[in-house]
Amino acid sequence: MSSRLESALRKHKPAFIPYLMAGDPDLETTEAVAHAVRACGAAALELGVPYGDPLADGPTIAAAGQRALERGTRMCDVLALASRLRDAIPIVLFTYYNLVHAYGLELFAQDAVRSGVAGAIVPDVTLEELDDVQPIFEKHGLAMPLLVAPTTPAQRAGTIARRASGFVYVVSRLGVTGASAAPNVDALRGQIAGLREATRLPLAVGFGISTRKHVEAVAPFADAFIVGSALIDAYSGTSGADAVRRVELLAYELLGSSFRGG
Is there binding between residue 187 and another protein (CB under 8 A)? no
Of 46, 77, 111, 223, the active-site residue reads 46
Rounded CA gap, 94 and 206, in Å? Answer: 13
Cβ 97 to another protein shortest distance, Å? 5
Say how many C-beta atoms besides its own lie within 10 A of residue 174's C-beta.
11
Return the residue of 67, 84, 86, 101 that touches another protein, per CB under 8 A: 101
Nearest CB to another protein, comparing residues 226 and 250: 226
Return the residue of 89, 117, 168, 171 that touches another protein, per CB under 8 A: 171
**Residue type, position 99, single letter:** L
**Residue type, position 58, single letter:** G
Active site residue 124: no
Is there binding between residue 105 and another protein (CB under 8 A)? no
Is there binding between residue 153 and another protein (CB under 8 A)? yes
Active site residue 46: yes
Is there binding between residue 99 and another protein (CB under 8 A)? yes
Question: Could you tell me which of 243, 236, 246 has the C-alpha nearest to residue 32?
Answer: 243
Is there binding between residue 188 and another protein (CB under 8 A)? no
Is there binding between residue 150 and another protein (CB under 8 A)? yes
Return the residue of 28, 70, 106, 129 that touches another protein, per CB under 8 A: 129
Residues 192-221 contacting another protein, CB under 8 A:
none
**36 to 75: interface string for another protein, x by CB under 8 A:** ---------------xxxxxx-xx--xx--x--x----xx
Q: Which amino acids are annotated catalytic? A: 46, 57
**Sites of contact with another protein (CB under 8 A):** 51-56, 58-59, 62-63, 66, 69, 74-75, 97-103, 123-129, 146-153, 156, 160, 171, 174-176
